[in-house]
Structure 1
């Protein structure tokens, strides 16, 4: 049995793509994880869990507790036994990044792709590609929330139209600024629900505590027009008033005219405050 690895393929992507099924799924091969990998997971989990209590939204905290994955890299089949009865979702192992159409199809059928390899020791603080810690620790707890569970299915179903209209970057920004880097207002204040934030100790604190970073009220059209960065902390975030807003604001939106109007326009640079906009939490003097 091969060890889940981080080898770079000829395409420049890490992971063992050879032997993957047509839908890019692979077996997790949990028994091939080494003691060192499980120890690395435990240290990552302990560090992020300490921040979860004070920085993550209630749904994330509750989901993480239900998954009970502190002791080592979790088995996807064990998580599926929790997810299935709760929200109908299932995890499928993948080598790493997968094509957009395949990703959308998995989501549309309530299958969440989870990368099976774990980051190396020197990548504990940051890595560009998603690994099993980012995908599982960051994303899976929120799959137990009914709103996020429903939203991700709808997002998957929306992919075909975006690709057909040459507007995939616009739809991708919705995912980026919510599922990956979303903030939500709760009784205690702003909290994180995006996986890209909550799987990074530095950005977890930065996103909520930095006084200079731009935070804007969530507006789906503004989000779809806004660029983002992949190699540094985000220059701006969008804040939901509640998780249900994520669906409420999108269900009634006709994406076709939005795509037609903005798909060929250059995105608004991340962190830019447009004339007339008011940052989240501020009021007009």
Structure 2
């Protein structure tokens, strides 16, 4: 039996969509935490590749933190899947991870410890590394370097990758379930606008095994992500989180960065 006294008051939420090939790696990185979470919630978002069978097998592993399973009847998207898991969460803190990513073994220990020591902060993230193979567990400094990012910082760029985020469960904000792109960026800014700056731990506590903008069908993804980002800024404007002048500035800047990124990508593809 797992030592429940060592569990942290964290609900880990993982949406799963056709991730049978990577799910084991992601969940194993949660099992391997130096301070495991009190619960792991896996949400099958309408998979058709056998992910559900992998989820059931992982939930049956003995001596592990409790694994709760939820199966959606359709592919509703990551936002709705995360919200469904959030609604089931029973712990004080919620942490997100995707089914094709992984965590450093000390991620929860460090991040939950910092958030618990700073009750005025609602949202916290950390540095992530992009790699092709799981790196060996690195020895981290005992010092926890932290920056604080306010709404202005987020308007310049999304400062937090979803697998790096931990937040307080009782926040009333949620992912916009009608968005498939930039829904995380919108939520972080809504939380920061309502509750104050987010903490950023400058330690590599999560690993992404894909480029941030995807590796397959990149041009199409970039276009959809750009439209999603513009929609995010427009929603902030409608919700009175930002004024008209700020909205115009960030939209123009966003399109400029998109054009630059698209041109650079085209040059790389021609090599």
Fold conserved between structures, TM > 0.5: no
Q: Pick the structure with more strand per residue.
A: 2
**RCO (CA 8 Å, sep 6+): is it higher in 1 or 2?**
2
The bucket for the TM-score relative to the shorter chain is under 0.3
Q: Pick the structure with more helix per residue.
A: 1
TM-score normalised according to structure 2 size: 0.28
